[in-house]
Structure 1
C-alpha cells in the first residue's frame, strides 16, 4: 500500500463500549472498567481526544435483558453522560443516540441544543427509530409500530426539530442595558407545526446554539433508513463486511444524497470496523483466537434472536442459517448477517459466534501497518470517508490504535496531526449553517 500523502482526510469516530465491543473483551482486559463509572468514561474520552478522534459516540437502547452485553445491559443515559464529558474535554465531538419513536421533538431539540451549548459546539445526534418489541413494552405499547410508520414519524420528527433549532435566528440575544431590551423579538419565531404525528407551537426555550443544529447522524441501512439519511444526515454510520459491499453502499448513498438535492461531498460515510491489533500479525491473530475461544454460543443465539426479531434457538445449531421474513427485526443488520452466512457458507452456530464476537461489524486482524493498509484501501477506493472504530478490548485495543495505528495514518498523510477547529461541524469538514 502506498505511503505517499493524499488530499483525502480520514475521519475517525470512537464507538464506545466501556467494556469493549467483543463479547469476551471484558474477560481478558487487565483493567476492567464499568459502564456506570463516570471516571472510567472520562478516561476513555480523554484518551480519544489525545488520539485526535473526531467523534466520541455512544449508542443506546431503551430496553435491556440479562442476555445483553455487560456494556449495554446497564449504562448511562447518553445525553446525561455526554454533558458530563463535555466539561472534561475540549475538542472531540460528542455523539448520542436518541429514538424518534419514543421521544418528542421539543424535548429532544432542547436537550441536544443544551449539549451543544455546554460543549461549545461539539454535539451530534445519531437518529434511530428503535425496532424491538421489548422497547415498545417499556412505553405502554404491546408491540412496535411498523417499519414504515416508524420512518414516517422520524421524517416529521426531524422536520420539527430543524424548525425549532432554526427558530432562533442569529443576533436574537442582544442585551441592551440602556433600553432594557435583552432579546430581539422578531428574531425568535414560533413554528406552529401541525402534522400527522406532532403539533408543536414553539419557539424552543433555549437560544441558538453554537452549531445552530447538532451534526445529524443516521445509521439505518434499510431503504427507508437510507432515504432518511439522504434527506437529513451529515454523517452516515454503516456496516459492510467486504470492500465491494462498502463501495456499493457508498455509491448508492451518495447518489441518494444528490437525488435529495444535497451535495454528496458534504455527507461523511463511516463504516464500523473492529480492529484486532498486535505489534505483529502473529500477536493480533493470537488475540483474536483467544477472544473467540471465550464466546458463549447461547449469548450469540440471543443476539441473533434480538437482531432478527425471531427465536433462533428453535433451529438446528449445525444447520443452515434460516431465512428471515421480510420486514422483521433490524433490517440492515439482518441483511449484513444473512449475506455473510451465505457468502461464507456459515452454519447457525458459526454465525452466532461471529455475531457474539463482532456484533455484526467488520473485523480486521493484523499489525498496525496492516490495519492502516486496510483503512487506506477503503478510503481511497471509494468505500468510506472515515471509520467508526470499535475496540474489542478496553482499554488495551484503544491504546494500541492510538499508539500505533494513528501515527501510521498520520505518516501517510491520511489523518490530521491536530484539531483544526473548535466545533465538530468544522472538524468534519461540513459547511457552517446560516
Structure 2
C-alpha cells in the first residue's frame, strides 16, 4: 500500500548555511508519497493524487510536512532527572547523573526508561537520535531493543569510565573494549541501528582506556564515536591537569585515534583555533546542545562555526538539557546566536535539527530531508498549535513568518503526527 501525505511540504535542495534560505523548497499544497518505508516522490499534491490514484491519502490540510527531527546528543538514562536544580557539570554528575546511572544495572529499569524516553521523543517529533548508555551493557540492550521494535534509525553505546567516577560505575580498559566489542557484534548494522563507541569524556577515561577504545574504533570504522569536548572552562582546566602533555583538549582524543569522520563531540563551546581547524580538517562533527549549555551554565556556542563548513547538528542533551523538544532546542540555539551577534534564519534552525544533524551522524541522504529514496521518517507540524502561536502566525506573510513562532514557542502540541519508516507512530490528540 502506498501512503500519500498531503499538506504544506518543506524540503531542502542544499545546506542553507551555504546556499542561503533559498536552499529550502516549500510546496504550499504538496505531497509526500511513501512506498515500502521510503519516500517515493515529493511533488504537488494534485499531481501525486492523479499519478497514484490507489494510494491511501492522509490529508493534513495546512499542516507542515517535514523530515523528522534528528537528535545528535542524548543521554537517555538521564530521562528521569531532566530539569534538576542548581548544579554545574561536575556537581551535576555527582549529585544527579551518577546515582541515576547506577540504577541501570537492572535490565528491567533500563527497559522502562528506554520505553519512556522513546515515547517522549516520538511525541516531540524526534525520529532518530544518538544516545549514551551507562557502563552497563543492559542499558544499550534496552535502548536498542526498544528502538528496533519501533523501526527507528538510532545509535547508542556503552559509556566507558575507569576513573574519576563512583566505584559502582567504573570499569577497566579491558572491560570497556571487550563489552563494547560484544555489543558491536550483536547490534551494529542490525536493522536501522548503529553502535557508537563511547568514552564519556577524557577526565573519566585513563590513557589506557582511550587507547583501547581508539583501537576498537580502528577495528570497527563504520561505528560512530561519541564523547564530550570543551563544555565548561573548569572542565578544560581539569582535563589539561590530567593530560599535561596535551596541546589542548581535542589533542587528547586525537592522540588515541579518536577523531575523524564518524566522531561526534558534544558541546565544543570553548575551542582553541587549533581545535576548530582540526575538527574541520578531519570531518569530525559537533553536537550543539544549547539548552544544556545554558541550563548548566556552560557558555555560549559560537555560531560562526556554522558557516565555516564544520559539521554541526543540534542535540537536546537530555537530561542536562531542559527539554525533550527539538523545537525548544532550536529556539535556544537562536537565542544563543543572538547573544553572539548572529540572527539565525528559520531555515538554518530547521536544518540544524534535521539535515545537518543527520549529516553529523553520517546519515545524510537516509534521514533528515524529504527526498526520493530517503527513509520515510516524517513529522507533520501544526503551525497554530496554541492560541499564542496561532495569533502570531495569522499575520505571517510567508512560510518563515508562519514557522518561526512555532520554533520559538512550540512544544509537543505542535507535532500533529510522527511517521517512522512509513508507519505512523504518534498522532497528537487535541484536548476536548
Higher strand fraction (1 or 2): 2
Higher relative contact order (CA 8 A, sep 6+): 1
TM-score for both structures, normalised by structure 2: 0.43
TM-score for both structures, normalised by structure 1: 0.42
